[in-house]
Amino acid sequence: MIPVIALVGRPNVGKSTLFNCLTRTRDALVADYPGLTRDRKYGDGKAGEHEFIVIDTGGISGDEQGIDEHMARQSLLAIEEADAVLFLVDGRHGLNPADEMIANHLRRSDKPKFLVVNKTDGINEDIALADFYSLGMGELHSIAAAHGKGVRQLIDTVMAGF
């Protein structure tokens, strides 16, 4: 069985950047503005010896209407399809109400989930992480998807469960 890993989080936290890093493609559009990934996007992921399927999603902002509502629904479907969920947050912007909403949803799911603090390149990691312990999701995983930093270690941890 090839595990399925879903990437969820509010728009602009770096889900598509991580998707591209894991699939070694540029299939997912990366942008400075939120909301580019409207549907679920599937890719073949590879990290070291590990192989898995990765799902990129559009993101959940918490006040969805119209196309945003569609994106949020796609994210919830991706969580249902997944064997493990990577919940991404932005280490440069700190905790956001949408993060808390997503955490509340994930708490109700019995899937293995990993809180991933992205964009910790070039900033004080301890300060960047401090905000997110209050989400109550256990251990934090610090990465910089744009540079591949911490990604191998994260996937080793996730895949150890399969």
**Rule CB under 5 A: which residues touch Mg ion?**
15-16, 37
62 contact, one of ligand GDP, Mg ion, none, CB 5-8 Å limit per kind: none
In the list ligand GDP, Mg ion, none, the entry touching 23 (Cβ below 5 to 8 angstroms by class) is none
Among 32, 49, 110, 139, binds ligand GDP (CB under 6 A): 32
Looking only at the bridges linking them, the beta strands covering 41-47 and 50-56 are: antiparallel
Q: Is 145 in the site for ligand GDP (CB under 6 A)?
A: yes
Check: CB of residue 143 under 8 Å from CB of residue 129: no
Number of Cβ within 10 Å of residue 50's Cβ equals 18
- Residue 31 makes contact with ligand GDP by CB under 6 A: yes
Contacts of 20 by beta carbon, 8 Å cutoff, 6+ apart: 26, 27, 28, 30
146 binds ligand GDP (CB under 6 A): yes
Does 111 belong to an annotated binding site?
A: no
Applying CB under 6 A, the span of 45-53, 70-78, 117-125, 132-140 interacting with ligand GDP comes to: 117-125
Residue type, position 26, single letter: R
- How would DSSP label each residue in 81-122? H-SEEEEEEETTT---HHHHHHHHHHHT--S-EEEEEE--TT
**Using CB under 6 A, which of 3, 45, 59, 150 touches ligand GDP?**
59
Do residues 14 and 87 touch, judged by C-beta distance below 8 A?
no
Q: Which residues bind ligand GDP (CB under 6 A)?
A: 9, 11-17, 30-32, 34, 37, 59, 118-119, 121, 144-147
